Each structure stands twice: as structure tokens, then as C-alpha cells.
Amino acid sequence: MILGIDHVGIAVGDATAAVDLLADLVDRPGTEIEEVGGQAVRVAFVPANWPTVGARLEVLSPTDPSGAVARFLERRGEGLHHVCFLVDNLEAEVARLAPRFALVDAAPRRGHGGRVVFLHPKAVHGVMVELLERDEPPVEDPHHPHARPPAESSHGRRGGEGEADLARARDLIERARGGDRRALARALSAVEAGGAPGCAVVAAAAGIRAATASVVGITGAPGSGKSTLVGALARAWRAADPDGPVAILAVDPSSPVSGGALLGDRIRMESIAGDPGTYVRSVAGRGAGDGLADAVGDMLSVLRVAGFGTILLETVGTGQDAFAVESLVDVTVVVHAPGLGDAIQGLKAGLVDLADVIVVNKADLDGAAALASALKFGRGDDPACLVLETVATTGAGVSDVRGKIMEALGRPHDLGARARRAIARAAVAMTRARVAEALRLDDPTGGAVAGVVAGRLSPADAACAILYASGARGVSGQDAPAGPGARDGGGRGR
């Protein structure tokens, strides 16, 4: 199966001049020019790395007047030399094409980090076609939310920008550590937006040994009063430790239509708005779908470095199986409220099983006692996880919740299991970003979406092709399926 165009080869007389010109054209540096032994050619790629999906340009110039590229230039002059298509199974493609297209190579040769075969240009309207099956997908993942800027090159353009980004990021972090809230806000905004500036802020924060911070996750169904409870908890923390700054990171849902978010959590935290020791930051969920946002983990790292000893992380209103918050926090608080379901909800497995503290908020409403009783029964009266009742609007019961959180912080936790969940979540976020970008750039007439609509591809086959083409493989390390019908159930065939 042909997955897409890997690169387009251009034959030129002067590789250095061509690379300079094309680098200016795409405003990105190329790779260093290298001589390919045995093929009498010098090659370079422009750009060195795309920030989004896209084929690169391969510049070829001859080193021997009797070589193939030199003969090409003599006959046809500078211009298009070949088009390289990425395939998932070279043998299968050769077998499919051999009856109609003449092959330049009797057997695959090594090239571009894999195996290649050339089709004769006489069979393809004068254009040489190269088929490439990579040994491994590219190591650099340009779709990571904080992809590294390309390395320094002879042009110095992108590398210089990366150094400047890192210098600005270090300045922001140092100012944030000194109490500059504007610098902290700018650093968090860069991380949330992603790209090279966000990557630089994350790198700058990672180079600083931060004091230990306690991260408390507050999650639960919409309407359970999480934001009001978070504000009340922040007041309780500040009252107990006036010298200890508290940060609140509140995730708000994003519209699947417009992509916008209200960021209204802080509206319910007016009582702490004038406290200089409390910092509130809202962040849009951006479709993460797990109650958080993809950048939350890195934003927590920045808040730790900025000197906050306690960080309260409020999730989007979540369902029973939204477990992601548990991978990023030290203690998980699950908030319930009467009127959001019957007593059976307290008996269902799910998020409540991961709770370190369970809170029945709005305890002044009818049904609160029955809900608390059902939740206690659902946890089997676990002494390590008490069910507490609060009225966050008045502060009733909030100090007890803080006390139980402090007890939970003192208990041992399986840090390895938490790290595995955090890694898995990061992998999902990276994959989601890659797929979203690939679908955005998908050919509306002949791409993956059109293939699924026309019935030529199953959604699973199309997804595998997109992931492979953008540098991903299955967990087993196998390649994408060879074509429609190649996947059967959970397996993958060729």
C-alpha cells in the first residue's frame, strides 16, 4: 500500500546554491550536503524537518560526469528527477506494479533508512518513481505538542531561533520564580500553545530542581460544585499556612464546534480573587476527552518550579471512567452532589474506586445523606477513603476535607504505576495531535477520508496508514496493513 509521498528529487548542477535557494523559499534550513558513496552524487534535503506533515525536497548534484545524475542533467537539464513514495510493504508493491511498470532495479537496494526500488521513467511519463519501505519511522516526531526546534544548520536560521526561544524561556522562568505573575502567565500560555516557544519553556523548567509540591486533583460530575469547593479549599490552605502560596489550575471544556472555552471556573472563586498568595489559571480542554488538557502535565511542572507548594488541579466535569487525573496528582478527590443520579451511582465501579477522598458536596440538599451512605457502601467502608460531606458555599466541612487530603498525602503511593499511566497519557496526546494534523491536511479527493467514504478503506486501515505515514507504529512494532481487509479484528496483516 502506498502511504504517501516521502520526498521529491531535483537534479541540479550546484547543490550548495540549490540548498541555499530552496531553504530561502521554504524559510527553513536544509540538511548538510553529503556525498553518497558508489552513486557519484551529492544529496541534501530541504527542509531539515517539517513542523507539519509534508514531503521534503531532495537535492541531487553529480560528482562524476559519467554518473547517472550527470547523464540526466546532460540530457534534460536541471529539474524534477524522481518522486519517492513511502510504502508499507515493498515486495507487495513491486509484485503489484511489475506487470505494468518496468523496474530499474532487479532487487531492492539500501537507501533513506530502508529499502528502495526504482521504476523506469519510460513507464511513468518520463518521471522516475522511487518506492521506499523504511526500516523504522523517523525518530523525530514533529507533531508532538512541544516538538524540538530543528538543530543548528549551516544557515543558522532555525537553530538561532531555538536558542533565542530558550533564552526567553529561561528569563520567564527566573522571573516567575521571583514572584512575577505576568512572567508566569506568559510561560504557561507558551506551554499551553505548544510549538517551539512552549518546548523551550518546558526545557527551561526541567533544568531547575524544584521544591517538593503537593498536587491535589479535584474531579467529579458537572454541577457537583467542584469550582466552589476548590476555592474553599484554597482558602483553607491559606488559613492553615499563610506563607504557603497555592496555585489552582482549572480545566474548562472546549466547544467541539468552535474550539472556544468559557474559562468560567474562576467566576466561582471570587472569594480568593484578592489573595496575592493564590494564583488561578484556567486552561481549555481542547478536546482531550479525559477531563484534562494535553498541556496540563507540563503546566504543572512550571507551577512547581515557580514555587507553589500546593497545586489544586480541577478537571472538566467528568464521567465514571475518566481516570487521567490520577496519573498527574498525588491525591485524587472525587466530588459528588445529590440530585445527579440515584443511589445506584454510588455502587458502580469507576472513578470512585481511585479516589483518596470522596466528597458529597451540597450536603444541605435533600438526598445528601443517602448518597453518602451509598458511596460508603460502594467503597466497603474503606478506612483509607472516608466519605465526607461539605457545603462549599458556606465552608462547612471544608477543613475536614483538607485534613483528610493531608493524611492521604502522607501515605505511600505506587509512583511507578502513576508514571506508567502518565507516559501512556502522553503517548495518546501525541498520537491524537498527529492524527488531527494529518486529517486536516488530508486530500479531500483521494486521501484517507475519501477512501473510507467510498468503502475502499476501513476506518482501521485508514488510521493505520495515517499513523505510519506520520511516524507511528503499532505497539507490536509491525507496519501498517497492506490494504483494505488486511486487518481482522484486533490483528494486523500484510
* pLDDT band per the 50, 70, 90 thresholds, residue 155: very low
Yes or no: say if 50 and 6 are a contact pair by the CB < 8 Å rule.
no
pLDDT over threshold 60, residue 387: yes
Residue 34 near residue 48 (C-beta atoms within 8 A): no
State which of 15-29, 80-94, 143-157, 335-349 shows the largest mean pLDDT. 80-94
Pairing status of strand 41-46 against strand 331-336: unpaired
Residue 7 has pLDDT above 80, yes or no: yes
Name the more confident of 482 and 171.
171
Residue 266: predicted pLDDT:
54
Percentage of the chain exceeding pLDDT 90: 17
Listed range (93-97, 342-346, 377-381) with the worst mean pLDDT: 342-346
Using CA atoms, how far apart are residues 332 and 189, in angstroms rounded to an integer?
Answer: 25
Across residues 16-24, what is the average pLDDT? 84
For residue range 405-448, what is the model confidence (pLDDT) as tens digits? 999 888 877 778 777 877 877 787 778 777 877 787 777 666 78
C-alpha cell at 328: 498527574
User: What tens digit of pLDDT does each residue of 217-263 get?
Assistant: 998 888 888 889 999 999 999 999 999 999 999 887 655 444 444 44
Domains of the chain with bracketed CATH: 2-134 (3.10.180.10), 157-206 (no CATH), 214-412 (3.40.50.300), 427-494 (no CATH)
Q: Cell numbers 500500500 label which residue?
A: 1
Cα(60)–Cα(42) distance, rounded to whole angstroms? Answer: 6
**pLDDT band for position 37 (50/70/90)?**
low
pTM: 0.58
Sorting pLDDT into bands at 50, 70 and 90, what band is 470?
Answer: low
pLDDT tier at 123, thresholds 50, 70, 90: low
Which pLDDT value is given to residue 360? 92
Coil, helix or strand for 71?
Answer: helix
Higher pLDDT, 294 or 244: 244
For 378-417, give one letter per residue: b (16+ CB within 10 A) or e. bbeeeeebbbbbbbbbeeebbebbbebbeebeeeeeeeee
Could you give the C-alpha distances from 434 to 53, 144, 437, in angstroms and in order? 9, 7, 5
